[in-house]
Structure 1
Amino acid sequence: MRRFWLAVSALSIALMGAFPTLAAAAPADEANAVVDAWVARYSANDRDGVVALYAPDAILLGTTSPVISEGTEQIRTYFDELPGSGRSNRITDRRTRVLSPDAVLSTGFYAFARAAEGNVPRPSRFSMLLVRRDGRWLILHHHSSPYSAVRR
C-alpha cells in the first residue's frame, strides 16, 4: 500500500511539472475573483467595499488623479472624490500572469460609464498586482489610465 501512495505522489509531482498552468490556475482564479469584485463594487458605488479590496500599504494610480494614492486613507479619499451613483465599469479584455503562488498580475482594458455623463463609455487600461496575505487576496498596486484612439 505504501508503494501505491508513493507512486501516486510521484505521478502527481510529475504531472504538476508537466502542466504548470494547472498548478497556477487556482491563484489566477482567486486573484481574478478580487478584480471581478472590484468591478462589481465600483459599479454598485460601494466605496467601502472597493477600499477593502486593497492592501493597507497599496498604491493606486487612479484614472482621474494627478497624485499617487498610497495606503488605505489616501485610496479612500480618491474614491470618495469620484462622482456619486450612476457609475458602471466592465472589463472588456484581461490578461493574467501568475508571478508566484502568492502574487498575480492582472492587466487589460475596462470601460467606465457615468450616468451624469450620458453613460458614454470611457475606455481605460488597468493593471493590478494582487498578493495573498494571511490567506486573503488583496490589491497591492493598481494603475488605471484612459487610452485614446488607436495609434496609426
Structure 2
Amino acid sequence: MSEQEAVLAAVDRIIDDFGHHRRDAYFAGFADDATFAFHTSPARLESRADYEAEWDKWEQDGFRVLACRSTARRVQLLGDDAAVFTHDVETELADGEGRTTVTERETIVMQRRDGVWLAVHEHLSPREAA
C-alpha cells in the first residue's frame, strides 16, 4: 500500500466512524493532542479531550450523526510522516429539534506516529450546497 493509500485508509475510517456515530472508534483516529477549529465553535478546541467533552454536550441535546459523504478528496503528502487531506463533506444530523443536512469543507492534517496515521488537526468551514 502506498503512503497516499495508507493516509486515505486512515481518513476513511474516521469518516466512516463519524458517519455511523461510532463515537469511541471515531475519536480513536485522533491524536490526544489534536486541535480542532470548527466554524460552529467560538474557540479552537485544544485537545481530543476538549472535543470529546463538546461532543458529549451535543449528545445531551439529542445530537446524532446519521450519514456522512465525502467528495472532492485530495491527499498531499508532506515528507514521510505528514499529510494534508481536504474534501467537501455533507453530513446528515439529528438533534432535539429534528434532522438537518450540513455542507462543509474540511481539512484534516495527518501525522504518522509509531507507524499509525492519526489526525492531529481538523478544520471545518461552511460551504453552500451544490
Report if TM-score (shorter chain) is over 0.5: yes
TM-score, normalising length from structure 1? 0.73
Across the aligned residues of Structure 1 and Structure 2, the Cα RMSD in angstroms comes to 2.1
Which of residues 85, 109, 112 in structure 2 aligns to 1:132?
A: 112
Moved over 6 A (4+): none
Q: Does 2:42 match 1:62?
A: no
Change (3 A) 1:112 1:135: same
Distance, in Å, in 1 between the alignment partners of 2:52 and 2:94 is 22
1:114, distance to aligned residue in structure 2 (A): 1.7
Higher RCO, Cα 8 Å, sep 6+ = 2
1:106/1:128 contact within 8 Å kept: yes
- Calculate percent identity across the aligned residue pairs: 29
Structure with greater proportional helix content: 1
Consecutive unaligned residues in structure 1, runs of 5 or more: 1-24
Larger Rg: 1
Change (3 A) 1:49 1:148: same
1:80, distance to aligned residue in structure 2 (A): 2.1
Aligned to 1:123: 103
Which of residues 74, 78, 88 in structure 1 aligns to 2:50?
A: 74
Structure with greater proportional strand content: 2
TM-score, normalising length from structure 2? 0.84
Amino acid at match of 1:91: S
1:106, distance to aligned residue in structure 2 (A): 0.4
